């Protein structure tokens, strides 16, 4: 069975045939905006959850000033 990556050119070609280049471009733009909004909400939710649990935010660095003897 072929994976999604192998079938991607087929789906893009099918989209161009069914929708046409202008509508396909508009749909891909909406999809990209939706993905960006989803990632923004996901980051916000992760940082709020980390703040509620008392841990550092994901991706935050912890700089330690202590030296180990």
Ranges of the chain with pLDDT below 70: 1-4, 55-69
Is 56:50 a contact under the CB 8 Å cutoff? yes
Q: Look-up: residue for tokens 């550092």?
A: 56
Which pTM was predicted? 0.56
In contact, 46 and 59? CB cutoff 8 Å: no
Query: What's the pLDDT at 18?
Result: 92
Question: What's the pLDDT at 57?
Answer: 57
Which H/E stretch holds residue 6?
Answer: helix 4-19
Q: Which pLDDT score, from 0 to 100, does residue 69 have?
A: 53
Contacts of 42 (CB under 8 A, 6+ apart): none
In this prediction, residue 9 carries a pLDDT of 84
Are the C-beta atoms of 57 and 50 separated by less than 8 Å?
yes
- Which pLDDT score is estimated for 12? 83
């Amino acid at each position: 069975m072929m994976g999604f990556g192998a079938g991607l050119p087929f789906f893009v070609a099918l989209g161009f045939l069914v929708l046409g280049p202008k509508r396909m471009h508009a749909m891909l733009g909406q999809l990209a905006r939706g993905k960006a909004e989803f990632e923004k909400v996901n980051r916000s939710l992760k940082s709020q959850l980390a703040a509620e649990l008392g841990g550092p935010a994901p991706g935050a660095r912890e700089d330690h000033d202590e030296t180990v003897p």
